[in-house]
Amino acid sequence: MQIDRTLMELNDYQDRANLTDRRPGDDERALAFPLLGLASEVGSLVNQYKKRIRDGKAHEMFDRRAATELGDILWYVANLARKLGHDLDDIAVQNLRRIGERWGTEAASSPALLLDDDFPSDEQLPRHVDITFQEERLPDGKARVTLRSDGKQLGNHVVDMSWTNDDYRYHDAFHLTYAALLGWSPITRWFFRCQRESDPQYREIEDSGRAKVIEEAIAAILFNYAAAEQYLDGVDAIDFSMLELVTSMAAGFEVRVRTTREWERAILRSFEVWRALRDAGGGTVRLDLRARRIDLL
Given pLDDT bands bounded at 50, 70 and 90, which one contains residue 105?
low
Residue at 46: amino acid letter? V
Domains of the chain, residue spans: 5-103, 112-296
Rounded to two decimals, the pTM is 0.75
pLDDT of residue 104: 64
Residues 46-50 have a mean pLDDT of 87
Are residues 101 and 261 in contact, defined by beta-carbon separation less than 8 angstroms?
Answer: yes
Average pLDDT, the chain: 90
Please determine, for residue 18, whether its predicted confidence score (pLDDT) is greater than 60: yes
Q: Taking residues 95-124, what's their average pLDDT?
A: 75
| Single-letter amino acid, residue 287 | L
Residue 161: which residues within 8 A CB-CB, separation 6 or more?
168
Band the pLDDT of 117: cuts 50, 70, 90.
very high
CATH number of this structure's domain 5-103, picked from the four choices 2.60.40, 1.10.287, 1.20.950, 2.20.28: 1.10.287
Here the contacts of 151-157 (C-beta below 8 Å, separation 24 or greater) are 154/191, 154/192, 155/187, 155/190, 155/191
Residue 94: which pLDDT band, with cuts at 50, 70 and 90? confident
Mean pLDDT of 165-179: 97
Phi and psi, residue 104, nearest 5°: -65, 160
Cβ(250)–Cβ(218) below 8 Å: yes
Q: What is the pLDDT of residue 281?
A: 97
Mean pLDDT of all residues in 115-136? 96
DSSP SS3 for 118: coil
